[in-house]
Structure 1
Amino acid sequence: MKRRKRILAIALMGMVCILPFAACEKDAVSNELETAVDEVETVVDQETQFITKYFLGDAVKVRLEEDGTYSLAGSDARLFEDQLADSPDSFEENPEPQDSQAGLGLGGGVRKWPNSTIVYRISGLSSSVRSELQKSFDEWTSKTNVRFKERTNESNYVTISSSGSNSNSGVATLGVNGSRGFIRLGTRATAVVIIHEIGHTLGYIHEQNRRDRDDFIIINFENIQNNAVDQFYKSNSATLVTSQFDINSTMMYGSYTFSKNGRPTITDLNGNVLPRRQARISSLDIQGTNSIYPPADDTGGDTNSCDGVEAWSPSKRYFVGDRVTYRGSLYERDFTRWNFIKRCG
């Protein structure tokens, strides 16, 4: 029989109190670790072999889950096989725009939701989790252009269901994945966790995986559980949502996430633990989301004019939501490719 070890992790936690007294600091850490039992709970099979794949051009350790998706050593962000690659060569940071159906199967592909609208179906959630889910919807819709629509006959949608775990936890696939996408929530999931999982559905990776993270935080690898080290990899190729690193982002891990010894795995540059996560998105989450997801268009008018749009340049760095013209067509930048909009003129 395979040996199993229960790994307890905090997805969105920080410090309980910040007072200049040792006793308060001790209580804060104690409360953090107690909360860890409920925040994210996953089982890692010690005999499972992790394999190396490439995601957004970076080598990552992944393992195949029972549902056919891949996780980063138990991460709550799940990837499908066609979002991974066997070599870094299949990822281009600034790919050449192609026709509308080209490039859909490129390794590392992450796609955003059309018309800034997440289409969803709910399956098997308790009334309490549904209430927390609605709070999470409200947080995103009240502050960003993102909207939520219950599925009727749409082909692109995410299924939100219970994972069956008696915990405040969740996992989610990354970006739009046709009918395969999902968010799975523990039976005690709260808005703190659900808001974060919606971020993954929107296509966002964890904040501490940004290429510029070392300018803002310290990763204490000596305090990280052995099987979770790959959770803290640094992506050199991921398209950034915002122009600067955001400690307060809903996508940021807490200071004690995957700690093996009760000491912080993440601190700021001065060695201080990060603020406790709240059931809200940060100002930079809002700014970045609204740059990627513009207001939805329900008017039926033409908002896709080619006039004044610059031509694509191989030497320029683009961000999600940027538009270019190329060989007589209009394109919009997605996370890992260009989406064809229309022919110009």
Structure 2
Amino acid sequence: MKSAFAKSLCLLPWVLATVLACGPEAEEAASGPRLRPGQLMDSDRLQLAQVEAFGEAEALDVPVVERNGLLLLDGDILVGRASESPSALKQALEVSQFNGIPQGSLRWPEGKIPYVVSNVFTSAQEKMITQAMKEIKDRTGVRFVHRTDEKDFVRIIKTKDGCYYDAGPGRVGGVQELSLMDTQQASCFYHDIIIHELLHAVGLWHEQSRYDRNQFVRIIWDNIQKGRGPQFQIVPASRSDVYDTEYDYRSVMHYDKNAFGVTNTAITIRTKDEDYLNVIGRVESMSANDARKVRRIYQDLLEP
């Protein structure tokens, strides 16, 4: 067991990141309070989508959130629309069986992600997006580059439908939208949230879905909203790759202690090390393990 002093040293980089990320520019960029990944909106309702995946003989019932006509897996992966078959659900579901995308076609060529940004963002918001991209480049080598004529690219848009990434982690193909909401009721314009969604584009999934999760956290099932339990399923070790990284309480991809709770204060994820209860899902930047995972996924594609 680490001493309190040792733990405080481990948290120091994230404390500094908090100070840097919460200055006047960060406050100016966000119109409303933080909308965390896994936090539900008033318009959300649960829906079961049927999908054939993993070679199963029968279709699986997969719980998705319907939000203003959009279907979201795990709270922030757009997999289709209520008016149509969720075409991306099979791929998103199977990709979720990795803690990050496998080393294959879902990676962005040469570790370069072409993108365009909608012209509706304020200059402060554009700066926050650029800063988050720069941090990913500096710490992983994966780069977001302005799109020229690439067929596959990320379009960053502002909507009233929350923070989400389109069609599953990594490069699925075509235009993939990344939504950053900003209203007086809720905003995605906080450094950790932007990093979280950008890392979905890079290829990372949610930390609490790891096969070894139960060694580190306990799920409080009675505090989870009715029908939301499947959002907390773990991925079997036989269908998983965590890229030789340890479970990470400080991962920016980890949901917070109140995710999908019956109330906004109900604890649904309790860390077995109580010192990290108020750390999960509340860091201000990507962790060393987040960066390490990305480098291992893209290691043979990155420039030396």
Q: 1:72 corresponds to which residue?
A: 73
1:252 aligned residue = 254
How far off its partner does 1:247 sit?
A: 1.2
Deviation at 1:54, TM superposition (A): 5.5
For residue 50 of structure 1, give the secondary structure of its aligned residue in structure 2. Answer: strand
**Aligned-residue offset at 1:41:** 5.2
How far apart are residue 206 of structure 1 and its match? 0.8
The match for 1:139 is 135
With over 3 angstroms needed to count, the CA separation of the structure-2 counterparts of 1:190 and 1:271, relative to structure 1, is closer
Of Structure 1 and Structure 2, the greater helix share is in: 2
Structure 2 CA distance, aligned partners of 1:152 and 1:55? 35
Q: Is 1:264 matched up with 2:267?
A: yes
Secondary structure (helix, strand or coil) at the match of 1:275 reads coil
Give the letter for the 2:279 counterpart: P
Is the contact made by 2:156 and 2:179 (CA closer than 8 Å) also made in structure 1?
yes
TM score, norm. by length of structure 1? 0.61
Contact 2:157–2:178 under 8 Å retained in 1: yes
Looking at CA atoms only, which structure, 1 or 2, has the larger radius of gyration?
1
Cα deviation for residue 205 of structure 1 reads 1.5
Change (3 A) 1:152 1:258: same
Partner of 1:102: none
Q: Deviations over 1:60-109 (max 9, x none)?
A: 32356667x64236x112235454349x9x99x9xxxxxxxxxxxxxxx9
**Structure 2, gaps ≥5 residues long:** 1-31, 81-85, 98-103
1:278 correspondence with 2:283: yes
8 Å contact 1:52–1:62 — kept in the other structure? no
Structure 1 position 286, deviation (Å): 1.2
Shift of 1:269: 1.5
Work out which of the residue numbers 61, 64, 86 in structure 1 matches 2:63: 61
Structure 1 residues 64 and 260: alpha-carbon distance in aligned structure 2, compared to 1, 3 A threshold: closer
* Distance 1:203-1:211 versus aligned 2 partners, 3 A rule: same
Q: Deviations over 1:9-46 (max 9, x none)?
A: xxxxxxxxxxxxxxxxxxxxxxxxxx976434534454
Mapped to 2, the partners of 1:110 and 1:224 lie a distance apart of 35
Residues 77 and 172, structure 1, Cα contact 8 Å, conserved in 2: yes
Deviation at 1:242, TM superposition (A): 4.2
Residue aligning to 2:157: 161
Q: Are the aligned partners of 2:40 and 2:260 in contact in 1 as well (CA < 8 Å)?
A: no
* CA drift at 1:141: 1.1
Question: Structure 2 CA distance, aligned partners of 1:110 and 1:257?
Answer: 31
In structure 2, how many angstroms separate the alpha carbons of the residues matched to 1:216 and 1:298? Answer: 35
Aligned-partner SS, 1:252: coil
| Cα distance change, pair 177–250 in 1 and its aligned pair in 2 (3 A) | same
**Structure-to-structure mapping, 1:1-345, within 5 angstroms:** 38-39=35-36, 40=39, 42-46=41-45, 49-53=47-51, 60-62=62-64, 70-72=71-73, 75-79=75-79, 81-85=86-90, 111-123=106-118, 124-164=120-160, 169-173=162-166, 174=168, 175-187=170-182, 188=187, 189-236=189-236, 237-261=239-263, 262-271=265-274, 273-275=277-279, 277-294=282-299
Over 3 Å counting, the alpha-carbon distance change for 1:64 and 1:140 in structure 2 is same
Q: Distance in 2 between matches of 1:290 and 1:61?
A: 32
Structure 1 counterpart of 2:143, one-letter code: R
Q: Which moved more, 1:193-202 or 1:75-84?
A: 75-84
Distance (whole Å) between structure 2 residues aligned to residue 212 and residue 295 of structure 1: 27
Q: State the AA in 1 paired with 2:146.
A: E
Greater share of strand: 1
CA distance in 1 between counterparts of 2:136 and 2:220 reads 32
Query: What residue is the counterpart of 1:4 in the other structure?
Result: none
Larger deviation, residues 235-244 vs 202-211: 235-244
Identity %: 24
Flag structure 1 segments of 5+ consecutive residues without an equivalent: 1-34, 94-108, 300-345
* Separation in 2, partners of 1:49, 1:294: 38
Deviation of the 1:184 alpha carbon: 0.4
Give the secondary structure class of the aligned counterpart of 2:152: coil
**Counterparts of 2:201 and 2:269, CA distance in 1:** 24
**Whole-angstrom CA distance in 1 between matches of 2:115 and 2:65:** 27
Other structure's SS at 2:41 match: strand
Q: Is the 8 A contact 1:223 1:263 kept in 2?
A: yes
